[in-house]
Amino acid sequence: MYYTQEQIDRANQADLVSFLQSQGEQLTRAGNEYRWKRHDSLTVRGNKWYRHSQSKGGAPIDFVMEFFGKSFTEAVELITSHENRHCAVTTAAFGQGSGPVA
């Protein structure tokens, strides 16, 4: 499957905390960052992650490829499908896109 640069950029701008929680992953808040229960040396802030034990980090696509064992294409699909579901729920919660609200 082919993804546009816009789709790739959108996937890499996804909020990792929200994404990981939607995947059933446990995170613990540590100041401005979150620590992932599976790797205590890994911190997440916004759309960035950093694994302190290996001095390695990156964006959401890199994360999914590294820790979920997905290909680039699979990573973009997984993240964008989460973002699409998240946007649909948020829009519905505000009564937009679902017709008149009583």
pLDDT digits (tens, 9 = 90+) for 21-52: 999 999 999 999 999 999 989 999 999 999 99
Cα gap 82→100, rounded to integer Å: 26
3-state DSSP assignment of residue 33: strand
What is the H or E stretch that residue 17 is in?
Answer: helix 16-22
In 3-state terms, the chain is what percent helix, strand and coil (to 5)? 50, 20, 30
pLDDT value at position 84?
64
**pTM (2 d.p.):** 0.78
- Spatial distance between the Cα atoms of 8 and 60, rounded to a whole number of angstroms: 10
DSSP 15-77: -HHHHHHHTT--EEEETTEEEETTEEEEEEETTEEEEGGGTEEE-HHHHHHHHH---HHHHHH
Give residue-wise pLDDT tens across range 70-84. Answer: 999 999 999 998 776
**How far from 35 is each of 3, 16, 49, 95, 99, CA to CA, in Å?**
30, 11, 10, 34, 40
The structural domains of the chain, ordered by start, are 5-90 (3.90.580.10)
